[in-house]
Structure 1
């Protein structure tokens, strides 16, 4: 994994070896151990007609010592990831804060100390990341933790250490569905450290790009990161369900893998907020994991139960089961399409159809237009 940008926490020899070990351990768990566990699940399958097929299979698997070992190793690898990356970030916290202060003057940063996290973020550390997205700490350390930790967590498959593959894929989707459109004001809700907002700013250089998130440390880091990557982005602290922007003030509003980390009510609220924020004729787009519950194999459904209990992802099953076309319709959108966009590394128009090519090779997209 090559270094990505000036704000990224650097690694010394031992830290680099440790992080590569975690990457390889997670690859071993997923590629070598998991297939045998999946076969065990098939043997315990109560059948397609069973009312709670995945939940029953998961419960039966828990009676197996080998499954318990798999779960323990899976959880331990995730905790080890954050521990090792966190130690590296802590070692250079002062340098990271200094780099943020020295960043080029680009875009803007607006923090609101009165911002409260929604309960679905405040009551758990999503992905087991200590402190979660909204950790109330000084400086940029939480953003640095998410940035390098996220790249290792994704095993480098989402654009290496820039972790920007989803942003490029969303930009490609916009140019695939609406060739020739050039939005003047773009907003990302739930931007994290800006990994997806930066590709949008590069794909639409004429646009004024805004990005919203709940975490102050995350946003301090995101602002400096974007500046070093030579783009102007206006970062604001706030809740995506009640965004601090005026009605009908954007030409495009989007999210990237945000909905599965909210709640059923949160998804509906964000859909409605997108409608409020968009100008007539504006575009909404939501990028999510490339899986739909009704079409994935049994083991993937069982993994949803594991994500819930062992990775702090309680809305995983709801999000990949949701009827996003219906939800966008209820929010007032038209010209709605859902499907899978090929994962890309630039903003060129690409393939958008009903076939998922798998994780990190495609992403699920639900998009539409606000009526004129």
Structure 2
């Protein structure tokens, strides 16, 4: 991540002081060192190779008895905890100014928060990614704190590899896949299920400037921030607090329904309901796209088991194993979708109509995204 990528890119992005920036650089480099091939990971890889007779939880249990692996795992978790604490401290220092900026005099879009909304337990009871408060933390009123933490933290967490500070790489990839399926596609209404701070919703809105764009999520503070963020970059988006399992929208209301790295944070039961809900609210001929991290456990690789175990046990991604083993194609077909596609869509800074980039072979994390799509 360059210095430019860690500077503010829109007025709502928290801007770190000199010392805060230095701390964020340190955490970034610390996380990179833990993830790069180095002495620790080579040692861990050797331990994994020696334990290939085990699978799943048995492999995890055996590896946790290994001092090197256990230390490496602890450091990875520590880096995540350090990330959120440093980001939160920076946000809290400038929260009054950010809150003032979030007041939009003449908005193009809107934000609707339901004071009686109840988030699904798999999100309400877990601080996903170890982010304190998860997606649901909301102090009420004009609170935007959790959105600011999520936006700034996401750039450092992803090491700038998902579109820099805009974190919009997944949105471009999702539309790249849409254009692969239907080069002339021109929706009149789109829905981002699990929009977060609108990082993917904003680029999608720019590909279809004449359409109505809606983003839903479970956290009021995140949605207020998302609305202000979108307004400051000139995107007219309507943000609504709602559950992707039961959105409350009318039947056949949207032409495009999509998620970007959302399904793996739900549950087996929830994914089936979300796909069914997408089918209900899509118009005939409408397209559904789900973009996910390109991590699959189809080949039984021991390292993939351990990666899934780490995410589930130590990074509060409770359904990571299920999300990387479930048969997405069968699930989507069972919901009634046709022309189902399952594979990998190349990352891109800008989607182009007629551009391919879809294949059955993964190019690796951040170079591509796992995708499943279908037509109603």
In the alignment, which residue of structure 1 is the partner of 2:266? 262
In structure 1, which of residues 31, 34, 44 is the aligned counterpart of residue 41 of structure 2? 34
Q: Deviation digits for residues 61-87 of structure 1, max 9, x if unmatched?
A: 111111221111111110000000000
Deviation of 1:180 (Å): 0.5
The answer to whether structure 1 residue 367 and structure 2 residue 373 are counterparts is yes
In structure 1, which of residues 112, 123, 148 is the aligned counterpart of residue 152 of structure 2? 148
In structure 2, which of residues 149, 168, 184 is the aligned counterpart of residue 180 of structure 1? 184
Instruction: Check the 8 A contact 2:43/2:68 in 1, yes or no.
Output: no
Q: Deviation digits for residues 220-266 of structure 1, max 9, x if unmatched?
A: 00000011111100100011111021111000101111100000000
- 1:1-372 equivalences in 2 (<5 Å): 1=5, 2-31=7-36, 32=38, 33-46=40-53, 53-102=55-104, 105-138=107-140, 139-295=143-299, 297-348=301-352, 349-370=355-376
Ranges in structure 2 where 5+ consecutive residues have no aligned partner: none
SS in 2 for 1:114: coil
SS in 2 for 1:287: strand
Within 1, Cα distance between the matches of 2:174 and 2:241? 23
Instruction: Check the 8 A contact 1:257/1:287 in 2, yes or no.
Output: yes
Greater mean alpha carbon deviation, residues 342-351 or residues 75-84: 342-351
Deviation of 1:103 (Å): 6.4
Instruction: Check the 8 A contact 1:168/1:345 in 2, yes or no.
Output: yes
SS in 2 for 1:251: strand
Instruction: Check the 8 A contact 2:127/2:133 in 1, yes or no.
Output: yes
SS in 2 for 1:338: strand
Instruction: Check the 8 A contact 2:296/2:304 in 1, yes or no.
Output: no
Deviation of 1:38 (Å): 2.2
Segments of 4+ moved more than 3 angstroms: none
Q: Describe the shift of the 1:293–1:71 C-alpha distance in structure 2 as closer, same or farther (beyond 3 A).
A: same
Instruction: Check the 8 A contact 2:27/2:83 in 1, yes or no.
Output: yes
Greater mean alpha carbon deviation, residues 147-156 or residues 341-350: 341-350
SS in 2 for 1:191: coil
Deviation of 1:149 (Å): 0.3
Q: Deviation digits for residues 303-327 of structure 1, max 9, x if unmatched?
A: 1011111001110010111111111
**C-alpha RMSD of the superposition:** 1.2
Within 1, Cα distance between the matches of 2:252 and 2:186? 17
SS in 2 for 1:201: helix
Q: What TM-score comes out, normalization by structure 1 length?
A: 0.96
Ranges in structure 1 where 5+ consecutive residues have no aligned partner: none
SS in 2 for 1:281: strand
Deviation of 1:114 (Å): 1.2
Q: Deviation digits for residues 12-65 of structure 1, max 9, x if unmatched?
A: 10000000100000000111333431221111111xxx6xx1322211111111
Greater mean alpha carbon deviation, residues 2-11 or residues 79-88: 2-11
